Amino acid sequence: MYTDTIAAISTAVSASGIGIIRLSGPRALEIADRVYRSKGKIKKLADVPTHTIHYGHIYDENEIVDEVLVMVMHAPRTFTGEDTVEIDCHGGIYAMKKVLDTVLKNGARIAEPGEFTKRAFLNGRLDLSQAEAVMDVIQSKNRYALKNSIQQLKGSVKNKIEKIRKAILHEIAQIESALDDPEHMSLEGYAEHLEEVLKEQQGEIRRLLSTVADGKVIQEGIRTVILGKPNAGKSSLLNVLVGEDRAIVTEIAGTTRDVLEEYIHFGSAALRIVDTAGIRNTSDLVESIGVDKAKEQAEQADFILYVSDASVPLDENDFHIIEMIQDKQAIVLLNKSDLPAQVEAEKLAALTKKTVIPISAKEESGFAELESCISSMFFQGKLDLPEDIYITNRRHKGLLEEALESLEQVQESLDAGMPEDFYSIDLMNAYEALGGILGESVDEDVIQEIFENFCVGK
């Protein structure tokens, strides 16, 4: 239980309509009473009912700081589980900082990054997976990421992990009880039963791990690399997708020398889109470095948009790119379709074995079909199902893999006919690894590292 009271600005420190200063801790009401004066009959915030809002002013001694609304929330029905006060003041930067300074002057201390959420975790209001989901909600870049983070905040991961742990714990208890009291509890035929339990729980963990790739795409967006030979229209494509002139476009081949990355929403998909230098053999040292970077980006891509120039015949550079995308998820964009065609879409589809979409970046045509095609390639249209759980956290992935490995070791012990106490050891390792996702038996250093990534005020 904390003995100090923390405070911080919980909204963005920028000019806005409203700013919120949050206090949490055992002296939150006392400190608020020192700086708040009501416009009505209320004399002390400590005496008002919980979850009520009051109108008045913040004073620094006898000087009015700002006109405010104050929300009072008594423990334990608060985000942190502690007495909490939120001061809604005007959203000017100076006004917010002045209110915060007044609160700090009267007994609060400035909160560390993520300390409100850390207190919620340590006070049992959230498990660690839910606490991490708080930051995921804040950092969500698309509706899928937000929806998944909200589901985790509501306990989707917690509930699934608890169910798996409960099944494992039941088997640990049965084994330990039989080993402690062999006269009254027999393990005869137990190996067959345990094998069924292992099969079921391994399946549950593998299903969670199978969502990691989609979870990465949900959280970070589809890493999309634009490839093509010089002057094919890659930068023009990027500008159309972004909706503004982000890349330099000229008639001079090789204008793009470096990697340019943008985060965009394209229909229902979120794309981390990367424009690259044109792929060709070149003696220009700087351009050559750009070509090498383009190839590196293509290797790391989730998805490739290969832009081919419909107005000129295919050449060795095109064939090199076609070879590069063979094992990648890709769509071929036959650009400059507004010009007389030198490349047939059917021929290009046969060569690449990919979907070919004629477009014109200049006239912004063909993009509706591109949007539809991208949507059908990812998530198989199932991402909107609210009951789905997608693992987006690398820490969770590592602990799930650790738990699965321990359960596989139990299976190996069963196959080798090892004594039952061997089963119990590995079952307990799996149980504890899964508990790490929820925050049980997690080192203080790990907890500190997690919450250091939060913003101040959350």
pLDDT tens for the chain, residues 1 to 458: 678 999 999 998 888 889 999 999 999 999 999 999 997 777 789 999 999 999 999 999 999 999 999 999 999 999 999 999 999 999 889 999 999 999 999 999 999 999 999 999 999 999 999 999 998 888 887 777 888 889 999 999 999 999 999 999 999 998 888 877 777 677 777 888 999 999 999 999 999 999 898 788 778 788 888 888 888 888 888 888 877 554 433 343 444 434 577 777 776 667 888 887 777 666 566 666 777 787 887 888 888 899 888 888 898 888 988 888 888 889 999 989 888 888 888 888 999 899 999 988 888 888 888 888 887 777 554 444 445 788 999 999 999 999 999 999 999 999 998 888 788 999 999 999 999 999 987 888 888 888 988 888 88
State which amino acid sits at residue 446.
V
Question: What CATH number is given for 130-211+391-452 in this structure?
Answer: 1.20.120.430
d(Cα 367, Cα 249) in Å, to the nearest integer?
19
Question: What pLDDT score was predicted for residue 51?
Answer: 96
Question: What pLDDT score was predicted for residue 383?
Answer: 46
Backbone angles phi, psi at 252, to 5 degrees: -80, 120
Question: What pLDDT score was predicted for residue 244?
Answer: 55
Q: What is the DSSP string of 241-255?
A: HHTS--S---SSTT-
- 380: alpha, beta or left, given left = phi > 0 and alpha = psi -120 to 50? left
Cα–Cα distances in angstroms (integers) from residue 332 to residues 49, 229, 256, in the given order: 64, 13, 20
Q: 6-111, what's its fold?
A: Gyrase A; domain 2 (3.30.1360)
d(Cα 201, Cα 410) in Å, to the nearest integer?
12
Residue 234 tokens, joined: 């890659």
Rounded (5°) CA angle 230-266-290: 25
In the DSSP assignment, the letter for residue 77 is S
Question: What pLDDT score was predicted for residue 261?
Answer: 76
d(Cα 139, Cα 144) in Å, to the nearest integer?
12
State the pairing for strand pair 222-227/109-110.
unpaired
Backbone angles phi, psi at 36, to 5 degrees: -105, 135
Question: What pLDDT score was predicted for residue 382?
Answer: 45
Let me know: does 136 contact 149? Beta carbons within 8 Å.
Answer: yes
The Cβ of residue 323 has, within 10 Å, a number of other Cβ atoms equal to: 10
- The residues that bridge with 36 in the sheet, in sequence order, are 58
In the DSSP assignment, the letter for residue 248 is -
Domain residue limits, the chain: 6-111, 130-211+391-452, 218-381
Residue 324 tokens, joined: 């590069």
Question: What pLDDT score was predicted for residue 98?
Answer: 97
d(Cα 14, Cα 119) in Å, to the nearest integer?
26
CATH 1.10.238.10 fits 218-381, yes or no: no
